[in-house]
């Protein structure tokens, strides 16, 4: 029996919480690939706590502070070179972080180029121009140093080719997968969420930052229901940060009823989605779009922006509006809220579409990428 391929992998995103999109991808890699002949050694700047999947592998944490790029330049190379026996490859999982001069090849996960193509929606530390320059330099250097690059969608691949053309020949697209743990909820479980919010609701769940367009959703709801008394409840699920509270306050000022349930555990997401009359995802830019994938799997009718990566995820299984256009979104919300037949058709098509994003397909693609990268023995330039 051949020995396992030994992979050093950057687990810093998991140390920030496994509920992020990158956290989901890392969890699936660590769960699905060991049985396919891979052995992982994790590296991080901080300890991983309450992350069950990381308990089954060796994790080395530096315990040092500082910015992401500083850690990648100062601490990461030493940690990788100290791994014994040496890995067959290193997987940089957080858009940059591939040191030069490693004696083994590296794989870079460049999930998207949103900070590059839409910097106005990124909350840069000050001074913003300097951190944008640092980011672009780090992406270019990591793309040059990597033997291979994996990204989440054809839309992200096109962005990378346009802005980092020297990486064009290295890119492989591996879409996200529907988690194995996700199952459509029972009717009583979904009804409990409806009872909590006073009836069937319009739902957004995901992150809260300017790029996500939650402000646009609030504006569209006010346009779709000129008489607020006729509007269904609006549920904004996710981290209850300042932007979430601002959105709920804006909705309240317009006479709408808005709820902030905060972070919803994985085990309750299907029921939350199942209780919604409509799921709306108004994000202006994405590298993929995991929330619409989960909503489709739950059979919840979806209205989403026509951002290219989101279009790839939903296909013909959702209603699309022009990104950034509140009036266009309002028309779809109003029409869908009145048309039960359309909603039923969307729910059925969504389940079929979501089934295409299987964990087995994801694992097979990542296995091929890992094997080719380990076999390149190119190291980092």
Band (pLDDT 50/70/90 cuts) for residue 125 is confident
Tokens encoding 35: 């049985």
Residue 8 predicted with pLDDT over 90 = yes
Query: What average pLDDT does the segment 146-175 reach?
Result: 97
216 with 165, same domain: the answer is no
Q: How many CB atoms lie within 10 A of CB 268?
A: 15
Domain span at residue 202 reads 187-354
Instruction: Please name the helix (run of DSSP H) or strand (run of DSSP E) that holds residue 17, with its range, or none.
Output: none
Spatial CA neighbour of 204 closest among 247, 249, 254, 252:
247
Q: Is residue 381 part of a domain?
A: no
Residue 282 pLDDT > 70: yes
Q: Is the pLDDT of residue 378 over 50?
A: no
Claim to verify: residue 133 and residue 217 sit in the same structural domain: no
Per-residue pLDDT for 377 more than 80?
A: no
Cβ pair 74, 113 in contact under 8 A: no
What are the pLDDT digits (tens) for 198-246?
A: 999 999 999 999 999 999 999 999 999 999 999 999 999 998 899 999 9
Q: Is 201 in the same domain as 173?
A: no
Q: Tell me: do 28 and 167 sit in the same domain.
A: yes
Same domain as 261, residue 241: yes
Share of the chain above pLDDT 70, in %: 98
150 & 206 share domain: no
Computed on alpha carbons and rounded to an integer, the radius of gyration of the chain in Å comes to: 21
| Type and span of the H or E element at 90 | strand 89-92
Same structural domain for residues 193 and 305? yes
Q: CATH number of the domain at 306, please.
A: 3.40.50.2000
- Each residue's pLDDT tens digit, 299-331: 999 999 999 999 999 999 999 999 999 999 999
- On whether both 347 and 323 belong to a single domain, the answer is yes
Sign of CA dihedral 158, 163, 164, 166: positive
Q: What percent of the chain stands above pLDDT 90?
A: 85
Q: φ, ψ for residue 109 (rounded to 5)? A: -90, 110
pLDDT beyond 70 at 381: no
**In the predicted structure, residue 132 carries a pLDDT above the cut 70:** yes
Q: How far is CA 56 from the centre of its chain?
A: 24
- Ranges 25-29, 54-58, 135-139: which has the least confidence: 54-58
Q: What angle do CA 244, 15, 308 make, to 5 degrees?
A: 55
**Plot region of 30 (φ>0 → left; ψ -120 to 50 → alpha; else → beta):** alpha
Question: What average pLDDT does the segment 132-145 reach?
Answer: 96
The whole-angstrom separation of Cα 196 and Cα 198 is 6
343 SS3 class: helix
Mean pLDDT, rounded, for 176-197: 95
Q: Are residues 264 and 138 in the same domain?
A: no
- The phi, psi pair for 281, rounded to 5°, reads -130, 95
What whole-number distance in Å separates Cα of residue 136 and Cα of residue 285?
Answer: 18
> At residue 106, what are phi and psi to the nearest 5 degrees?
-125, 145
> What pLDDT shows up at residue 380?
46
Same domain, 37 and 167: yes
Residues 3, 299: Cα–Cα separation, whole Å = 43
Of 14 and 342, the structure prediction assigns the larger pLDDT to: 14
Q: Is there a contact between 124 and 130 (Cβ–Cβ < 8 Å)?
A: no
Structure tokens given for 200: 């069937």
43 and 88 share one domain: yes
Domain co-membership, 372 together with 348:
no
- What's the mean per-residue pLDDT of the chain? 94
pLDDT value at residue 124: 79
In a domain, 169, yes or no: yes
* Residues ≥6 apart with Cβ < 8 Å to 305: 213, 281, 282, 283, 284, 320, 321, 322, 323, 324, 329
Per the structure, the count of domains in the chain is 2
């Amino acid at each position: 029996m051949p020995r396992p391929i030994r992979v050093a992998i950057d687990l810093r995103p998991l140390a920030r919480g496994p509920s992020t999109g990158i956290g989901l991808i890392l969890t699936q890699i660590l769960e699905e690939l060991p049985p396919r002949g891979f052995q992982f050694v994790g590296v991080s700047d901080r300890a991983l706590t309450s992350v069950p999947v990381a308990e089954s592998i060796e994790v080395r944490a530096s315990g040092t502070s500082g910015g992401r790029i500083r850690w990648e330049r100062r601490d990461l190379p030493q940690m990788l070179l100290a791994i014994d026996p040496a890995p067959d490859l290193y997987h940089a999982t957080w858009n940059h972080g591939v040191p030069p001069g490693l004696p083994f090849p590296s794989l870079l996960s460049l999930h998207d180029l949103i900070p590059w193509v839409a910097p106005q929606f990124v909350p840069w530390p000050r001074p913003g121009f300097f951190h944008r320059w640092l980011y672009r330099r780090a992406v270019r250097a990591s793309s040059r140093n990597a033997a291979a690059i994996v990204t989440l969608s054809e839309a992200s691949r096109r962005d990378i080719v346009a802005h980092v053309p020297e990486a064009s020949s290295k890119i492989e697209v591996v879409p996200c997968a529907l988690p194995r743990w996700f199952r459509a909820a029972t009717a009583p479980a979904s009804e409990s969420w409806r009872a909590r919010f006073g009836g069937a609701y319009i739902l957004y769940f995901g992150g809260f930052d300017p790029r996500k367009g939650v402000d646009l959703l609030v504006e569209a709801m006010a346009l779709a229901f000129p008489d607020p008394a006729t509007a269904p409840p609006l549920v904004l699920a996710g981290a209850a940060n300042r932007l979430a509270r601002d959105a709920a306050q804006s909705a309240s000022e317009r006479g709408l009823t808005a709820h902030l349930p905060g972070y919803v555990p994985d085990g309750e997401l299907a029921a939350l989605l199942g209780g919604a009359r409509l799921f709306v995802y108004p994000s202006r830019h994405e590298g993929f779009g995991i929330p619409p994938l989960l909503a489709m799997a739950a059979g919840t009718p979806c209205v989403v922006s026509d951002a290219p990566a989101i279009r790839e995820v939903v296909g013909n299984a959702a209603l699309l509006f022009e990104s950034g256009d509140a009036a266009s979104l309002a028309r779809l919300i109003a029409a869908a809220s009145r048309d039960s037949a359309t909603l039923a058709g969307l729910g059925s098509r969504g389940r079929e579409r979501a089934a295409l994003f299987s964990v087995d397909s994801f694992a097979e693609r990542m296995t091929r990428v890992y094997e080719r990268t380990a076999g390149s023995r190119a190291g980092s330039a």
